[in-house]
Structure 1
């Protein structure tokens, strides 16, 4: 029986199978609007990008929206044009002299290069109490499987909440500056035909620089004053990771305390909740969170992001290496510190630790 079956199989015609070509559509590219104007000094930035919908084969592909016309209009009809950055395509900046006024409402208007029109709903600039005090707490995070834990500093703000209004808070990192120490005496060039030696070739300069950087929080820091209305309370407002360089000597950062609208708070809270999903099989899939932007040409078009207008209070804090109760091992950079982006041997004019 087995021999008969094999014989039948051998008699079957052998045919070539042509590969089936599947053309996958790129999918809809959704406009994403990110940025804020505040009552603090400018320039303020609005970033426009397009990204594919969740589940698309092109998900994660982010493209800057360039050559758009971007303006901000207040409730009195005053218009401010934003200029696109030459170095950061898709980022549009207000004039340095522009600051939002508390009590005014602002609308963001966008016309893309293709002629499509978008608008935000009006956002009112809410007042915000002064950020009077910042303190430092060292945080350590144990790693799965052991090893050296991650660590960094948590900044705690003292908030004196006014009793006569419902406040919604949002904290953002401003620019930071720290003293960067490197080891130019250990510099070793890459071996080449003209320089086969692997021995260190020390550089005469420079071992100490001041480095400026912009480090965003990996999480959103938000608060509503339902539980502390009219009281003074302490709230975590930032976390800066220790990378073995930032806290070797002296570190400085500006923290911005923003007073945002209730709608902006709800949007950011949903974004925070979605970003912090643990990833279990019972978690809901990522969903599109609608902001305050709409298409004027097609009301059904999904526009992502939120245009924020907010009152701003800024507090600067200097962190000394001795303020940390746990530090990462010092990172070694065997080169001139001026080779690192954002560095200078001269201290900033406003460096006053």
Structure 2
């Protein structure tokens, strides 16, 4: 009596559905579109995966002026981005238009950009166990970014935060087994690796020959509603978790967005799903139906959402000299010539490579707020 036998629940995952995440922002480099399809179960990773859809024609449309902004496909980041000088303005209304290479079309409902709420102060606190990291299967150390702001009275406000972090790179290129960097790419030396050769290092690394910064982005959702704090002064609200990937000093750029009620509801659902599934790249376990439709097939369910929101930006330098915990990423230096059996003469070695180029994840342009000394 009273004894129960637990059973493993079975879920019906529908593959092949399109997942769209679109964002128009008043912040420079804050606008983007991601298009994925929810794929079949991957036995190798023991999970369902989202697969990027490339080759699409993607545009932002200003419904007030009729202006069309064509987005460019960034194949390194699997994302579509507008021209680098694109910024939206509060009060404008935007739509998203997508045409896939197979002829399918997707459009969003219009979104109007509201007025932003400024950040009055930004701070930081360090925690040895900041958040649980799925890849490490353990709690990871890092810094929690805190903000202050004055919530406007007599109106409902909803907030959402993104961040970018900039860290100075030592290594600009890594070439894997028996490959070396020549003429802008990693090329193979020889046709195969002899089975009797024991590698000292399975890769070769190349120092940056010019200034280069790596860019990282948030991996979780931070939102806030003023339902119980309307018109109050909000102080030291945690809005970003910056993990200790490196013990070097880094620059963190926080963006505070003001959302509509429907956008907040969507990101609240997305936050719950990410917390359940363990990461940004995990596919949704429930239907994230937003404001995107297939105008030629109203019966098709399209996951995701297009959001237009204003942003306020604040920056802070994180000094990590006194951090005791080990950094998450620990890489070994392996310049050319560190094989046990070199295949090129030492006089032909090179040790440097240029910054990978301007992209979502790298830049050779000094970030705004980076110390000059």
> If the length of structure 2 is used for normalisation, what is the TM-score?
0.68
Alignment CA distance shift 1:207-1:92 (3 Å): closer
Distance apart, 1:240 and its partner CA: 1.3
1:84 aligns with 2:72: yes
5+ residue gaps in structure 2? 1-12, 173-178, 181-192, 279-283, 336-350
Q: For residues 197 and 55 of structure 1, what CA distance do their matches in structure 2 show?
A: 32
SS at match of 2:264: helix
Distance apart, 1:95 and its partner CA: 2.2
1:30 aligns with 2:21: no
Alignment CA distance shift 1:232-1:42 (3 Å): same
Taking the TM superposition and a 5 Å limit, the aligned residue runs for 1:60-99 are: 60-85=48-73, 87-88=75-76, 91-99=79-87
Q: Number of aligned pairs?
A: 305
Taking the TM superposition and a 5 Å limit, the aligned residue runs for 1:297-312 are: 297-312=296-311
Distance apart, 1:88 and its partner CA: 3.9
SS at match of 2:301: coil
1:107 aligns with 2:95: yes
CA RMSD of aligned residues (A): 4.2
1:171 aligns with 2:161: yes
5+ residue gaps in structure 1? 1-25, 183-188, 280-284
SS at match of 2:271: helix
Alignment CA distance shift 1:117-1:150 (3 Å): closer
Deviates more, 1:92-101 or 1:117-126: 92-101
Distance apart, 1:116 and its partner CA: 2.1
- Partner residue in 1 for 2:320: 321
Q: For residues 349 and 47 of structure 1, what CA distance do their matches in structure 2 show?
A: 24
Alignment CA distance shift 1:94-1:86 (3 Å): closer
Alignment CA distance shift 1:56-1:164 (3 Å): farther
Alignment CA distance shift 1:257-1:307 (3 Å): same
- Partner residue in 2 for 1:212: 213
- Select 1:239's aligned residue among 238, 241, 256: 241
- Partner residue in 1 for 2:187: none
- Partner residue in 1 for 2:5: none
> If the length of structure 1 is used for normalisation, what is the TM-score?
0.71
Taking the TM superposition and a 5 Å limit, the aligned residue runs for 1:260-299 are: 260-277=259-276, 286-299=285-298
Q: Which has the higher strand share?
A: 2
Contact 1:80 1:94 in 2 (8 A): no
Contact 2:167 2:213 in 1 (8 A): yes
Q: Which has the higher helix share?
A: 1
